[in-house]
Amino acid sequence: MLAEVLFFGIVIYLIYKVLFDFILPVSHAGKQMRQQFRDMNEHMRQQQQNNYQEQNNHQNTSTRKAEKVEGDYIDFEEVKK
pTM for the full predicted model:
0.51
Distance (Å, whole) CA 11 – CA 8? 5
Across the range 60-76, mean pLDDT stands at 62
pLDDT at 59: 74
d(CA 34, CA 32): 5
The Cα angle at residue 52 between residues 56 and 64, in degrees rounded to 5: 10
pLDDT at position 63: 62
Residues 22-57 have pLDDT tens digits of 888 888 999 999 999 999 999 999 999 988 888 888
